[in-house]
C-alpha cells in the first residue's frame, strides 16, 4: 500500500455549463492516503478555514484582541461547530434519523462522514463559543465578532467551491445561459421517469449554480466589510451587524433557488415552502439592518470609543504607570556633602583630627588611593601624615612604625594601604593597629563589635552604601537584600549592616547555584565581586535598588563595576554608577571614622 497515490475514476463526474460552452470532468477524490480517499470537499473547506484564520490573525490588533485569543476560541469552536452543524441538520430532518419505533437512530446521527451538516448550526455554535469566551476573558464580544465575520466570509467564499467539486449545486431548474448540468444532479433531484431528468442529462436544462452565487456574494460582502473597517468603522458590532444584514439578504435570495435546503416544518408562504435558512436569514437581515441604521443615524456621534482604541489607551496608561524612573545615586555629590559636614565640625575643634597613612611599595593604584585620602583630609580640615615605605621594608620596621603612631596623641587614625607586598603578613599588621585608631575597621576587635551590634567604627565601603540608601530614602527594613561577594572588606560587613537595619539578607558567592535566580529575588542588590559584566539585565527584577561596589577595568581600559549598567539601569528605581558611586563615599566614610576617633580621644 502506497503512502499517497492518485485517485481512481470511480468517483469521476461530468459537469457542464452548456450555455457557456464549458465542460469539466470532476473527481470528488483529491488523493488516496494510506488507502483512504481524501475528498476535494474536505481539502477546500480546510483551505478556506486556514485562510480565514490567517486573515483574522493578521488583523487582531485593529480589534483589541490578540492571536492567542483566536487560537483559544478555535480549540473549543472547531469540535463544537461540527456538533452544532450536525445537530442543526438532524433537527430539521428528524424523519431520516428516526427508527421505525420512533426512537432516535444514534448510529446514523453520529455518522457525519455520510454527509448532512448545516452551516447555520456551525455559525450559531461559533457565536455561542465566542460569547462565552469573551465573558470569561472580559473581551468585548462585538469587537471579536467584527473580526470573526470577516473569517466567516472568507471561509464561506472558498468553501462553497467544495460544493462545486462535490457536484452539489442543487439549485432550481433553469434554462439560463449559466445553468449547470450533470448526470449526478439529475440522479439526486429527479427520478429517471421525470421529464427534467433527461433534459438535465443532455444539457437542455440545468440548475442554478448556487455555490457560485454564494461564493461571489460572500466575496463582495468581504470586500465591502473590509472597506467599511478601514474607512467607516464607527462602533463595535458595526461589521457584525453589516455581515448579518448582507449575508441574510443573500441567503434569503439564494435559499429560494435551492432544492436541497431544510424545510421549515412544512410551512408555506404564498404557496411556496419555507426553508429554515430563508426564515433565519430574512429575520437576521431585518433585525440587524434596523439596529445598524439606528446606530448609524440616531446614535451618530454618541458611540463610546472602539474597543481596540480603549485597549490601546489602557495599555498606554499601564505602560506609563509602570515606567520606572531610575534615580542615579550620585556618590560624588553626597561625599562632598559629608566632607562638608566633617569640615564644619573639624573647624569647631581646638585640636584637629589627625590621620596617618602608610603605603609600602610603589603600586600605582595604591598611590592613587593614598593621594585621594590626603586630598580628603585637606578638604575636611584634618591633619594628615603620609609614610611612603620602600617595597623591601621588613615586617619589624613596619610594626615599629605602627607602634610609634599608636602612641602619638596627635594621630587619631592609622591606615595601612592594602594590598601589602607578599613578604609582609597583612593580618598581623592590621592586628597591630590600636583598635581605637583602626579607622578602616579591620581589627578583629572592631569586626567583633560590628557582629554584635556594638558602637564604634564602621567599615568604610559598607557604611558608605548605608549612608547612600538613607540619603535617597531607600527603605531597608523588611526588604530582601542580596549581597554578591563574601569578602571581609565589603561582602560580610555589608550583610551585617543590612541586618542591623532589619533587612532579610542573602549572601551569594562563587559556589552559589543559580546566581541569577537569587539576584532576581533582591529588593536591594549589592554587587561586590570584581568581575566585569557579572550582573546583567535579566538578573534584576523591575523596581530593584542596585549598588555596584566593584571597581574594574574593561577590555577598553575603561572603569566599570560588576553591573552591566545600560541593561540594568532601566529596571531600577535607584542605581549607583561606576565611577562616581560608592567609591567617593568610601573615602568620605574614612573621614567620618577619623573624626569619630578624634572625639573618642577627647578632641572637641
Split into its structural domains, the chain has a count of 2
Provide the pLDDT for residue 223: 95
DSSP result, 490-510: THHHHHHHHHHTT-EEEEE-T
* Number of Cβ atoms within 10 Å of the Cβ of 214: 24
In angstroms, rounded to a whole number, what is the distance separating the alpha carbons of residues 112 and 93?
14
Which residue reads 611599595 in cell numbers? 361
Same domain, 596 and 501: yes
Is residue 163 a part of any domain in this protein? yes
**Pairing label, strands 206-207, 29-33:** unpaired
What kind and span of H or E run contains 276?
helix 276-293
Whether 286 and 252 have beta carbons less than 8 Å apart is answered as: no
Cα dist from 553 to 535, 578, 579, whole Å: 15, 10, 11
Same domain, 568 and 594: yes
Is the pTM higher than 0.85? no
| Omega of the bond leading into 419 within 30 degrees of 0 (cis) | yes
Same domain, 296 and 362: no
Same domain, 294 and 364: no
In angstroms, rounded to a whole number, what is the distance separating the alpha carbons of residues 392 and 382?
30
Is residue 41 a part of any domain in this protein? yes
Same domain, 291 and 346: no
Q: Which three cell numbers stand for residue 179?
A: 445553468
In angstroms, rounded to a whole number, what is the distance separating the alpha carbons of residues 395 and 427?
12
Distinct helix (H) and strand (E) counts, the chain: 21, 20
Same domain, 412 and 551: yes
Domain coverage including residue 511: 331-600
Same domain, 208 and 338: no
Provide the pLDDT for residue 454: 84
The upper half-sphere exposure of residue 7, i.e. CA atoms within 13 Å in the direction of its Cβ, equals 15
Which of 420-428's residues contact partners 24+ apart within 8 Å by CB, and which partners? Answer: 420/360, 420/361, 421/360, 421/361, 421/391, 421/392, 421/393, 423/395, 424/360, 424/393, 424/395, 424/398, 425/395, 428/395, 428/399
Q: What is the DSSP letter of 258?
A: B
pLDDT in tens, 211-246: 888 899 999 999 999 999 999 898 888 999 999 999
Low-confidence residues of the chain: pLDDT under 50: 270-271
Same domain, 363 and 220: no
Q: What is the CATH number of the domain that holds 595?
A: 3.40.50.720
Q: Which of 499, 484, 490 lies closest to 589, judged by CA?
A: 490
In angstroms, rounded to a whole number, what is the distance separating the alpha carbons of residues 355 and 440?
11
Cα dist from 426 to 360, 417, 421, 593, whole Å: 12, 10, 9, 21
Same domain, 444 and 408: yes
Query: In the β-sheet with 383-389, what is the strand arrangement from edge to edge?
Result: 383-389, 354-360, 413-416
Domain boundary among 315, 345, 379: 315
Amino acid at each position: 500500500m502506497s503512502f499517497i497515490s492518485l485517485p481512481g475514476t470511480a468517483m469521476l463526474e461530468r459537469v457542464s455549463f452548456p450555455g457557456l460552452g464549458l465542460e469539466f470532468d470532476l473527481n470528488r477524490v483529491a488523493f488516496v492516503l494510506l488507502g483512504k480517499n481524501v475528498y476535494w470537499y474536505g481539502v477546500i473547506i480546510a483551505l478556506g478555514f486556514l485562510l480565514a484564520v490567517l486573515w483574522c490573525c493578521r488583523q487582531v490588533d485593529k480589534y483589541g484582541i490578540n492571536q492567542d485569543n483566536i487560537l483559544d476560541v478555535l480549540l473549543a469552536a472547531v469540535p463544537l461547530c461540527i456538533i452544532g452543524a450536525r445537530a442543526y441538520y438532524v433537527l430539521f430532518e428528524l424523519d431520516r434519523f428516526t427508527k421505525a419505533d420512533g426512537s432516535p437512530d444514534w448510529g446514523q446521527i453520529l455518522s457525519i462522514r455520510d454527509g448532512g451538516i448545516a452551516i447555520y448550526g456551525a455559525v450559531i455554535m461559533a457565536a455561542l463559543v465566542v460569547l462565552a469566551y469573551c465573558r470569561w476573558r472580559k473581551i468585548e464580544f462585538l469587537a471579536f465578532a467584527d473580526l470573526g465575520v470577516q473569517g466567516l466570509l472568507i471561509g464561506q467564499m472558498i468553501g462553497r467551491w467544495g460544493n462545486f467539486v462535490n457536484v452539489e449545486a442543487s439549485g432550481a431548474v433553469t434554462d439560463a445561459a449559466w445553468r449547470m448540468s450533470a448526470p449526478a444532479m439529475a440522479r439526486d433531484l429527479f427520478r429517471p421517469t421525470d421529464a427534467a431528468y433527461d433534459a438535465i442529462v443532455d444539457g437542455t436544462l440545468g440548475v442554478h449554480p448556487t455555490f457560485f452565487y454564494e461564493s461571489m456574494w460572500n466575496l463582495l460582502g468581504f470586500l465591502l466589510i473590509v472597506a467599511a473597517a478601514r474607512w467607516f468603522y464607527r462602533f463595535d458590532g458595526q461589521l457584525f451587524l453589516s455581515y448579518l444584514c448582507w449575508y441574510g439578504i443573500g441567503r434569503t435570495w439564494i435559499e429560494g433557488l435551492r432544492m436541497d435546503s431544510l424545510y421549515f416544518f412544512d410551512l408555506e408562504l404564498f404557496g411556496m415552502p419555507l426553508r429554515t435558512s430563508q426564515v433565519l436569514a430574512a429575520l437576521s437581515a431585518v433585525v440587524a439592518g434596523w439596529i445598524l441604521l439606528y446606530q448609524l443615524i440616531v446614535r451618530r456621534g454618541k458611540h463610546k470609543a472602539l474597543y481596540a482604541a480603549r485597549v490601546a489607551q489602557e495599555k498606554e496608561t499601564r505602560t506609563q504607570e509602570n515606567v520606572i524612573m531610575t534615580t542615579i545615586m550620585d556618590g560624588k555629590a553626597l561625599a562632598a556633602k559629608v566632607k562638608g559636614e566633617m569640615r564644619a565640625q573639624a573647624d569647631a575643634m581646638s585640636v584637629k583630627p589627625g590621620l596617618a597613612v602608610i603605603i609600602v611599595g610603589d603600586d600605582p593604584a595604591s598611590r592613587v588611593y593614598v593621594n585621594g585620602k590626603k586630598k580628603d583630609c585637606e578638604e575636611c580640615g584634618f591633619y594628615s601624615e603620609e609614610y611612603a615605605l620602600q617595597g623591601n621594608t621588613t615586617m619589624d620596621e613596619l610594626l615599629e612604625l605602627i607602634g610609634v603612631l599608636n602612641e602619638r596623641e596627635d594621630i587619631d587614625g592609622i591606615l595601612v594601604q592594602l594590598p601589602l607586598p607578599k613578604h609582609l603578613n597583612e593580618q598581623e599588621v592590621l592586628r597591630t593597629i590600636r583598635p581605637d585608631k583602626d579607622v578602616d575597621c579591620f581589627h578583629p576587635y572592631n569586626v567583633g563589635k560590628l557582629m554584635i551590634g556594638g558602637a564604634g567604627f564602621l567599615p568604610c565601603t559598607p557604611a558608605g552604601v548605608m549612608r547612600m540608601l538613607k540619603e535617597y530614602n531607600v527603605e531597608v527594613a523588611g526588604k530582601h537584600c542580596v549581597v554578591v561577594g563574601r569578602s571581609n572588606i565589603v561582602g560580610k560587613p555589608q550583610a551585617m549592616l543590612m541586618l542591623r537595619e532589619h533587612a532579610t539578607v542573602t549572601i551569594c558567592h562563587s559556589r552559589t547555584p543559580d546566581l541569577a535566580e537569587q539576584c532576581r529575588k533582591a529588593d536591594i542588590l549589592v554587587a561586590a565581586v570584581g568581575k566585569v559584566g557579572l550582573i546583567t539585565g535579566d538578573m534584576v527584577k523591575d523596581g530593584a535598588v542596585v549598588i555596584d561596589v566593584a571597581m574594574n577595568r574593561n577590555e577598553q581600559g575603561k572603569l566599570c563595576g560588576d553591573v552591566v549598567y545600560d541593561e540594568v539601569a532601566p529596571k531600577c528605581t535607584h542605581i549607583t554608577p561606576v565611577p562616581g558611586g560608592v567609591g567617593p563615599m568610601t573615602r568620605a566614610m574614612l573621614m567620618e571614622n577619623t573624626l569619630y576617633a578624634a572625639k573618642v580621644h577627647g578632641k572637641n
